[in-house]
């Protein structure tokens, strides 16, 4: 049976842009930042004319004239009736829900482990993160390695093939985020990915092989007239601890379509980009590129320059105060 609310629920669970990635659809951002264009998946073409509006969650192709929502796309792509398209998406959505439960149980397991492992607490202290309330608020956990698989299979009843498929463990059951501080990446309060910061061997940053989610804590600060955007989780923690609670992070200096769309959802917002001032100027380069894209989308932005070699986290660890950072914000320039 099809009920009228089900279509809306399916579309919430499976945003169109994410869904199209399953078909390896590649796109570039256009206009106000809410629209993406790429080659049409519904007819053959060499010049991109297939547009997706992220805010409206709709597509339209100027080549073949097809347009609509997720269900309409499935109808045309798979040549299914409306009813069969909903049934098809229902199965996919059930998988998404199972995976969400699995991620939730994984995060709870890691959170339980964090206070029990001195090496993890020691790492947090070294990064200047001492406030237990903030650690809880961020939902941080720790992956000690060794026991995740058994917990998820025997206590929570998950299937081993899903653990492997999500990238939580490898085929031998070894925890892929082993010896990492774990941060749950959310999208509208739902866990969509895990970010693991290594406390030991490289690579320092690791995500599960899926979309990394929206901007950190976006729902709590989206109404602020100015927003500070930083690269890393520890930059964000350092600024929150110092009172700059309008700070968010993209967990990296390259924003996903969704994160960019979030920044652009209020044209009156001013964004202070406080990326790493590293020796190879990668952070500054990424900040300039982002500022240009924000300007094209009609938003004001300022690039915050920290002393050479510093990111916001290391700036505070080196003894800087809230006033020092405030002065950096006041000095921040446009493009
Ligand atoms: Zn088309």
Joined tokens for residue 323: 């006033």
Pick the residue with more confidence: 96 or 1? 96
Asked whether residue 4 carries a pLDDT value surpassing 80, the answer given is: no
pLDDT tens digit sequence for 87-97? 999 999 998 88
Cβ–Cβ under 8 Å, residues 259 and 214:
yes
pLDDT tens digit sequence for 211-265? 888 899 998 998 999 999 999 999 999 999 999 999 999 999 999 878 888 898 8
Distance 300 CA to ligand 1 centre (A): 35
Distance 62 CA to ligand 1 centre (A): 7
pLDDT tens digit sequence for 165-220? 999 999 999 999 999 999 999 877 789 899 999 999 889 999 999 888 889 999 89
Question: Tell me, what's the pLDDT at 130?
Answer: 86
Distance 60 CA to ligand 1 centre (A): 8
Distance 44 CA to ligand 1 centre (A): 7
Backbone angles phi, psi at 46, to 5 degrees: -115, -15
The average pLDDT across 44-63 equals 95
Distance CA 231, CA 219 (A): 18
Question: Tell me, what's the pLDDT at 70?
Answer: 97
The confidence band for 325, taking pLDDT boundaries of 50, 70 and 90, is very high
Distance 21 CA to ligand 1 centre (A): 16
- List the alpha helices (DSSP H) in 207-281: 218-221, 233-241, 257-263
Distance CA 173, CA 329 (A): 47
Question: Tell me, what's the pLDDT at 33?
Answer: 66
- Which distant-in-sequence residues (6+ apart) come within 8 Å of 333 by Cβ? 302, 303
Domains within the chain, CATH numbers bracketed: 4-79 (3.90.580.10), 96-207 (3.90.980.10), 218-331 (3.40.1360.10)
Backbone angles phi, psi at 209, to 5 degrees: -75, 70
The confidence band for 112, taking pLDDT boundaries of 50, 70 and 90, is very high
Distance 38 CA to ligand 1 centre (A): 10
Distance 59 CA to ligand 1 centre (A): 10
How many other C-beta atoms can be found within 10 angstroms of the C-beta atom of residue 292?
12
pTM, full prediction: 0.83
pLDDT tens digit sequence for 16-33? 998 998 888 988 888 766
Distance 40 CA to ligand 1 centre (A): 4
- Which distant-in-sequence residues (6+ apart) come within 8 Å of 32 by Cβ? 264, 297, 298
Distance 2 CA to ligand 1 centre (A): 28
């Amino acid at each position: 049976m099809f009920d009228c609310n089900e279509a809306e629920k399916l579309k919430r669970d499976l945003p169109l842009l994410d869904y199209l990635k399953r078909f390896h659809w590649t796109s570039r951002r256009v206009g106000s930042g809410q629209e993406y264009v790429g080659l049409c998946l519904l007819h053959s073409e060499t010049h991109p004319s297939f547009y997706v509006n992220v805010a409206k969650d709709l597509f339209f192709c100027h080549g073949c004239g097809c347009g609509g929502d997720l269900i309409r796309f499935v109808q045309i792509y798979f040549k299914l009736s409306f009813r069969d398209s909903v049934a098809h998406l229902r199965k996919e959505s059930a998988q998404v829900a199972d995976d969400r439960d699995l991620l939730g149980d994984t995060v709870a397991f890691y959170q339980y482990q964090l206070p029990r492992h001195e090496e993890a607490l020691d790492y947090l202290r070294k990064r200047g993160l001492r406030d237990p309330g903030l650690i809880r608020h961020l939902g941080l956990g720790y992956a000690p390695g060794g026991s995740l698989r058994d917990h998820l299979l025997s206590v929570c009843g998950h299937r081993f093939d899903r653990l492997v498929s999500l990238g939580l463990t490898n085929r031998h059951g070894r925890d892929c985020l082993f010896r990492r501080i774990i941060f749950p990446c959310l999208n509208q309060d739902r866990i969509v990915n895990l970010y693991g910061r290594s406390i030991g061997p490289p690579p320092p940053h690791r995500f599960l092989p899926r979309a990394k989610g929206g901007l950190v804590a976006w729902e709590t600060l989206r109404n602020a007239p100015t927003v500070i955007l930083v690269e890393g989780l520890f930059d964000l923690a350092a600024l929150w601890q110092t009172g700059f609670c309008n700070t968010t992070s993209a967990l990296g200096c390259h924003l996903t379509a969704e994160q960019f769309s979030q920044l652009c959802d209020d044209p009156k917002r001013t964004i202070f980009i406080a990326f790493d001032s590293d020796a190879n100027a990668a952070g500054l380069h990424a900040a300039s590129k982002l500022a240009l894209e924000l300007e094209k989308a009609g938003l004001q932005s300022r690039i915050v320059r920290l002393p050479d070699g510093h990111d916001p986290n290391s700036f505070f660890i080196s003894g800087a105060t809230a006033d020092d950072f405030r002065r950096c914000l006041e000095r921040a320039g446009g493009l």
